[in-house]
């Protein structure tokens, strides 16, 4: 079981409420970045490319709570950098859990095992551990040997203490589909609470710009990877709405909803989305009301958006589609099993 039942119910209520209120643009997941520092230098991520004075900064717990309340999203993803480097990350997580937000604390796993005593297991808290493949491929992606083994050991330790744990995998050009399938089989042996997958995105500050996927490449690659799952030969436990997986393989054609996953950091509210570096607003209200949303998404013709199929832009679209009567039964399958 990927998404737990209470989370599915609460998000469903939230989506219905937004629709009844007539809101066309609203957040589903807040990407709360309390710092940009990291203890790795992955070639596909550009966060540590920020100037030193920015890398030294942290959001305070109060700033985090204010952003969460201003935004109102039911799900909070805490990426980074490496959030476990934040000296008050336990206070931030506790405050969000007390507010009954579903928290996904994203980590590369290096500090996870030694940090577990800072947290309490809760249905509102999930550790999302970055693993891009089996040992050799993952260590290559993060540019450091031994990271895979440390992360896997931390996953086992967290599960042993009763925590919810998912994995987060970015799939880049050049990966071997059969090895990714073997990787999914391996993750099933860890008894995690679901896998999250996304195509490699063209993040502007990433040092490596040569291995991001184009749209047709994405569909072809994910069709090959997910064929055993789509045909029922494998029952991999994905922490996704199944309609998003349909989108990745080309069975659904969605438009981006970039306001569905806004990003807040030490720099403010990033405009227009997590992947484009076009400045920041000081408030979420400004982000919603002052952004010319017609300039973003594939339908806009913006070349920066042409090939993007990343979950932060398209999973909110899939979530809304899941509320259609013809899709409700299918979506519930992600909660109760296929």
pLDDT of residue 117: 98
pLDDT of residue 204: 47
pLDDT of residue 217: 86
d(CA 73, CA 253): 25
Which range of residues forms the domain containing residue 80? 5-336
Q: How many domains does the chain have?
A: 1
Q: Quickly tell me which residue has 């013809």 as its tokens.
A: 326
87 and 93 Cβ atoms separated by less than 8 Å: no
333 and 242 Cβ atoms separated by less than 8 Å: yes
* Per-residue model confidence as pLDDT tens digits over 276-321: 889 999 999 999 999 999 999 888 999 888 888 888 889 999 999 9
Q: What is the pTM of this model?
A: 0.92
Q: Quickly tell me which residue has 């494998």 as its tokens.
A: 234
313 and 276 Cβ atoms separated by less than 8 Å: no
pLDDT of residue 18: 95
pLDDT of residue 263: 95
d(CA 224, CA 131): 20
pLDDT of residue 326: 78
Q: Which residue positions in the chain have pLDDT lower than 70?
A: 1-2, 41-49, 201-213, 328-338
CATH of residue 22: 3.20.20.70
SS3 of the chain: the string is: CCCCHHHHHHHHHHHHHHHHCCCCCCCCEEEECCCCCCCCCCCCCCHHHCCHHHHCCCCCHHHHHHHHHHHCCCEEEECCCCHHHCCCHHHHHHHHHHCCCEEEEEECCCCHHHHHHHCCCCCCEEEEEECCCCHHHHHHHHCCCCHHHHHHHHHHHHHHCCCEEEEEEEECCCCCHHHHHHHHHHHHHCCCCCEEEEECCCCCCCCCCCCCCCHHHHHHHHHHHHHHHHCCCCCCCECCCHHHHHHHCCCCCCCCCHHHCCEEECCEEECCCCCCCCCEECCHHHHHHHCCHHHCCHHHCCCCCCCCCCHHHHHHHHHHHHCCHHHHHHHHHHHHCC
165 and 193 Cβ atoms separated by less than 8 Å: yes
pLDDT of residue 336: 42
Cβ neighbourhood burial of 279 (10 Å; 0-12, 13-18, 19+): exposed
Q: What is the Cα Rg of the chain in Å?
A: 19
pLDDT above 70 as % of the chain: 90
pLDDT of residue 334: 53
Task: Output the CA–CA distances (angstroms, integers) from residue 103 to 164, 173, 262, 268, 302, in the order listed.
Answer: 11, 30, 15, 20, 32
């Amino acid at each position: 079981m990927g998404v737990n039942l209470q989370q599915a119910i609460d998000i469903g209520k939230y989506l219905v409420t937004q629709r009844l209120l007539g809101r066309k643009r609203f957040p589903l997941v807040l990407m709360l970045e309390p710092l940009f520092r990291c203890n790795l230098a992955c070639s596909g991520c550009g966060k540590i490319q920020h100037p030193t004075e920015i890398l030294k900064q942290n959001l305070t717990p109060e700033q985090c709570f204010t952003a969460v309340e201003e935004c109102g999203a039911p799900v909070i993803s805490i990426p980074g950098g490496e959030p476990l480097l934040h000296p008050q990350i336990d206070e931030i997580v506790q405050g969000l859990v007390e507010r009954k937000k579903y928290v996904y604390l994203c980590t590369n796993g290096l500090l996870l095992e030694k940090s577990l005593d800072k947290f309490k297991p809760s249905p509102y808290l999930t550790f999302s551990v970055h693993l891009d493949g089996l040992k050799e491929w993952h260590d290559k992606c993060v540019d450091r040997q031994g990271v895979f083994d440390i992360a896997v050991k931390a996953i086992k330790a967290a599960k042993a203490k009763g925590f919810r744990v998912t994995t987060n995998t970015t799939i880049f050009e050049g990966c071997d589909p059969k090895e990714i399938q073997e990787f999914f089989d391996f993750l099933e042996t860890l008894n995690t609470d679901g896998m999250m997958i996304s195509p490699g995105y063209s993040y502007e500050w990433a040092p490596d710009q040569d291995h991001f996927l184009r749209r047709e490449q994405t569909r072809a690659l994910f069709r090959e990877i997910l064929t055993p799952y789509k045909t029922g030969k494998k029952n991999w436990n994905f922490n996704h709405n199944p309609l998003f997986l349909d989108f990745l393989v080309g069975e659904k054609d969605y438009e981006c909803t970039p306001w569905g996953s806004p990003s807040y950091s030490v720099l403010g509210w990033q405009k227009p989305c997590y992947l484009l570096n076009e400045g920041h607003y000081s408030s979420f209200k400004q982000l919603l009301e002052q952004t010319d949303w017609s300039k973003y998404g594939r339908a806009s013709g913006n070349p920066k958006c042409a090939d993007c199929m990343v979950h932060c832009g398209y999973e909110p679209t899939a979530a809304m589609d899941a509320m259609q009567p013809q899709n409700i039964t299918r979506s519930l399958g992600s909660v109760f099993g296929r």
